[in-house]
Amino acid sequence: MITREEFDYRRIQLAYEFGRSVRNARQSRGWSIAGFARRADVTRAEIAAIEAGTPMPPAVTARIATAAGIDAPAEGYFATQ
C-alpha cells in the first residue's frame, strides 16, 4: 500500500506532466492561451492553471486534452483519497 505522501507526490507529478504536455501542444500550434481556451470551451484561467500543474476536474481536463489532441491524465490525477 502506498503512503499518503507517495500518493500526493504522484498526483503532483501527473499534474505537472499533463500541464507540460498541454503547453507544448498549444505552443506547437501557435495558439495563445485565449485562443486555446475558446477551442477547449474553458476559461483562460483554467488553461493557465493546467499549464502550471494544477489538477482540474475531469470534465475540464477532458475538454483541454481533446482540444490539444493529447491523452487525458491517468485516473490517479483526479483521486483525492
**Residue length, the chain?**
81
Domain range holding 61?
10-73
**CATH number assigned to the domain comprising residue 20:** 1.10.260.40
DSSP state letter for 74? P
Residue 5 within any structural domain of the chain: no
Contact of 65 with 48, CB cutoff 8 Å: no
> C-alpha grid cell for residue 7?
500518493
Predicted local confidence at residue 30, as pLDDT: 97
Number of domains in the chain: 1
pLDDT at 24 over 60: yes
Q: What is the pTM of this model?
A: 0.84
Predicted local confidence at residue 75, as pLDDT: 65
Please write the tens of the pLDDT for every residue from 31-81. 999 999 999 999 999 999 999 999 888 899 999 999 999 998 876 566 454
